[in-house]
Structure 1
């Protein structure tokens, strides 16, 4: 493995960034150009990537420029599908991906480039990684309260600054919990917080889309568990469409036969306590195939939703590891519908 020292920011356009990074690390110039048959491919392929071609060291290479995250297993399936149209080397290009995703790509032998971070081309014998003076600390997931606050800011970016007291009540948390969430997001570089008298004001550190991409390694699925409880058992408890049922609302994906709903963990515990007061044998049980599915979330899904389905960003996090290529294509379609 060779290392190179980071010297400057990468260009904004992913194609320009890839060309510049290859030139800096390998000292060769590539000219990325659109792949002529890209428009003839199924939407789940042509819609997930900008497909470009260029030679590298005399070797024909198909470059898959992904503006949105793609799960390693889904990427492998896409590369396999492209193999019927392309016999040469295939390289995925990402704007940013978490370190654990890079490790999985390396384990699978999938060639990839993250401009400014890493270039891994096993077929050509190249593995460049940026060198830093000290290894970065292990990244941890955000607490549910901090993740909820961040997603709220991404969905409803305020024109000015906010304080913890401005959002605590709306998100269903105490002022102390929201203050901790603000501190956590500030430490992660996802928001910019400043002291203003006795209060701390904050706003997103960058644009919504850039912040969303930067936060990927710290975000986790909101789904704590998936259970089966007949709808009548939930009574009047509001449950939003979730899972593939929600994805069908935001894309061309067909709705599943068995619907999926989401409810907050606190709501689920309250309902369970009420039911057990009547019947001590009552319990929320694991779902069996064909039954209506209820997702119990770490936070109340209603906070981020303004309709009958859960919000797009939380939905993406709940399904991003799904290996079904139709689901991945629908997720890409859904995020493209975001008004960042």
Structure 2
């Protein structure tokens, strides 16, 4: 349990920048023996909220229904929020706990605290004000590294040729990546050389707070099915292809601002039976699309503000399937 507590403290500190003080709960003896043998209970507080941490101490995973029953039993002796802490959890049980809005933390993996949602949103809002967002071209370079698994060394000239940007733009991109702490730049001869300081999911986790939704705006377009096949599926349509989420009634596609200017598609003021929704992106969605669908990471960024729990779960399901 000591290792789990240390991992929990590190995870909360890394995620929220908060040092979590954890103490033994003096009223633990009031609980049934079964609960005391199944969980280790500790008292703490987070963002001025009293918490009781229930550290799961069992090898055979319990069903969400059983866990919720255990929480109800503990709640009879505790006046405050209860948060479950797991070393690990199956994808199925994670989804079921979210469906039942049961707060839980898996150190190093996920923090789901719906009852503290307002406090956490306010906390992150304050933190994001101090986080400088990167430019779309810098986001493209990071997505290139993640999607193609090419973390360097890169030079401005090589990346300009690969991604169809100017060398001057790539020079600014390298500066942004270095300023964000995502990579290191050295000089070889006359060339600057970029090497990302993390790979795969580690780079994604470090970069995500700096990244923005690729979507500038969403519009409705009346078009025939044949014309729509020229554009990658995006939004909820794309997510339905990457997860078990049902396909939306109005299909969603994506294209860049530059591509929209040259297309012959006509915008309509509202959704008609034969229309589709188009997302106008800050960069070309076709660059990283696969099999007619926008890339998973850009798709995640485009929908990360959606508060529908079904969408949130589908996004997490999609990320879990990525082979970093």
Q: TM-score range with shorter-chain normalisation?
A: 0.5 to 0.7
State the alpha-carbon separation in 2 of the partners of residues 332 and 60 from structure 1.
25
Q: Does 1:295 align with 2:279?
A: yes
State the alpha-carbon separation in 1 of the partners of residues 143 and 162 from structure 2.
13
The counterpart of 1:260, out of the listed 248, 252, 255, is 252
Are the aligned partners of 1:14 and 1:95 in contact in 2 as well (CA < 8 Å)? no
The counterpart of 1:63, out of the listed 81, 84, 87, is 84
State the alpha-carbon separation in 1 of the partners of residues 223 and 61 from structure 2.
48
The counterpart of 1:335, out of the listed 302, 319, 323, is 319
Note closer, same or farther for the CA distance 1:15–1:209 as it changes in structure 2 (3 Å cut): farther
Structure with more of its chain in helix, by fraction:
2
Shift of 1:60: 7.6
The counterpart of 2:240, out of the listed 239, 245, 248, is 248
Note closer, same or farther for the CA distance 1:233–1:80 as it changes in structure 2 (3 Å cut): closer
- TM-score normalised to structure 1 length: 0.65
Are the aligned partners of 2:222 and 2:268 in contact in 1 as well (CA < 8 Å)? no
Shift of 1:338: 0.8
- TM-score normalised to structure 2 length: 0.68
Shift of 1:66: 11
Greater RCO, CA 8 A, separation 6+: 1
| Within-5 A mapping of 1:216-235 | 216-232=208-224, 235=227
Q: Does 1:39 align with 2:23?
A: no
Shift of 1:208: 2.1
Partner of 1:28: 23
Q: What do the CA deviations read for 1:7-48 (whole angstroms, capped 9, x no partner)?
A: xxxx9x9864215679x742526472168885346xxxx9xx
Which one is further off, 188-197 or 55-64? Answer: 55-64
State the alpha-carbon separation in 2 of the partners of residues 137 and 292 from structure 1.
35
Q: Does 1:202 align with 2:212?
A: no
Q: Does 1:284 align with 2:305?
A: no
Are the aligned partners of 2:184 and 2:196 in contact in 1 as well (CA < 8 Å)? yes
Shift of 1:61: 2.7
Partner of 1:147: 139
Q: Output the aligned Cα RMSD.
A: 4.5
Partner of 1:238: 230
Unaligned runs of 5+ in 2: 14-18, 25-41, 43-53, 89-96
- Corresponding residue pairs, total: 271
